[in-house]
Chains A and B, each alone.
Chain A
Amino acid sequence: DAGVTQSPTHLIKTRGQQVTLRCSPKSGHDTVSWYQQALGQGPQFIFQYYEEEERQRGNFPDRFSGHQFPNYSSELNVNALLLGDSALYLCASSWLAGGNEQFFGPGTRLTVL
């Protein structure tokens, strides 16, 4: 079992650009959540996807959007990047019917210059 995988590991972009981050959930999991972790802070919930639909959303602007595919993998898209978007982006997967334990991937480190 490969666990939760994310790509790329690191990414450098400039202000105004757009970025796409990818996540493959743990085998058997059907739900994917995305979090933003700024340096020295705890993760902040962005949104959660289940059955290819956004199930819940945190307090993030519409510049942050996502998608879930039929194989349960997911993408996080961020448009019009700001310096403040620099952070570690974490993907977590879970099994909706199996309770609320989430398994986290290693994250994608995004730097916006």
Chain B
Amino acid sequence: GNSVTQMEGPVTLSEEAFLTINCTYTATGYPSLFWYVQYPGEGLQLLLKATKADDKGSNKGFEATYRKETTSFHLEKGSVQVSDSAVYFCALSTATGNQFYFGTGTSLTVIP
């Protein structure tokens, strides 16, 4: 079956610290992988995506590389800001795009 496992939070970092949020997946076929961000009281916003092995998605200083050999898609940012405080969700989409599977989310708080 398909599933996503991401590191549990909450994560608290000081401004300018390095961020890593781990995500691993189980999938049949060749899924696409995504990171979504959810700010308080809002819906999900796409942060970045990768559609095939070794692809690197990047946006707003965040990066994640699709690693088929380790079935991972870890999110990284070199220097976090207070405005990055949010809940981050790792997700996979089946090859047909019919269905998304989400992890449980990792809450990030960045303190000044």
Nearest Cβ on chain A to B77's Cβ, whole angstroms: 20
Using a CB–CB distance below 8 Å, which chain B residues touch chain A?
4, 32, 34, 36, 42-46, 49, 51, 89, 91, 93-94, 96-105
CB <8 Å contact, A100 and B93: yes
**Which residues of chain A have C-beta atoms less than 8 A from B97's C-beta?**
94, 96, 99-100
CA distance A103 to B43 in the complex (A): 9
Contact indicator per residue, chain A 26-64, by CB within 8 Å of chain B (1) or not (0)? 000000010100001111110010000001101000000
CA distance A100 to B93 in the complex (A): 7
Contact A104:B45 (CB < 8 A) given known A42-B89, A42-B104, A42-B105:
yes
CB <8 Å contact, B49 and A101: yes
| 26 A/B residue pairs, CB under 8 Å, sorted by A | A33-B100, A35-B100, A40-B104, A41-B105, A42-B4, A42-B89, A42-B91, A42-B103, A42-B104, A42-B105, A43-B44, A43-B89, A44-B102, A58-B99, A92-B44, A92-B100, A94-B97, A99-B51, A100-B32, A100-B96, A101-B34, A101-B49, A102-B46, A104-B44, A106-B42, A107-B42
Using a CB–CB distance below 8 Å, which chain A residues touch chain B?
4, 33, 35, 40-45, 48, 55-56, 58, 90, 92, 94, 96, 99-107
Contact A41:B99 (CB < 8 A) given known A100-B32, A101-B46:
no
CB <8 Å contact, B98 and A41: no
**Which residues of chain B have C-beta atoms less than 8 A from A42's C-beta?**
4, 89, 91, 102-105
CB <8 Å contact, A105 and B43: yes
Q: Which of A40, A42, A45, A102 has the most CB of B within 10 A?
A: A42
CA distance A102 to B92 in the complex (A): 11
**Which residues of chain A have C-beta atoms less than 8 A from B101's C-beta?**
45
Nearest Cβ on chain B to A19's Cβ, whole angstroms: 19
CA distance A56 to B101 in the complex (A): 13
Q: Which residue of B lies closest to A90 (CB)?
A: B43
Q: Which of A41, A58, A102, A107 contacts B104 (CB 8 A)?
A: A41
**Which residues of chain B have C-beta atoms less than 8 A from A48's C-beta?**
98-99
**Which residues of chain B have C-beta atoms less than 8 A from A104's C-beta?**
36, 43-45
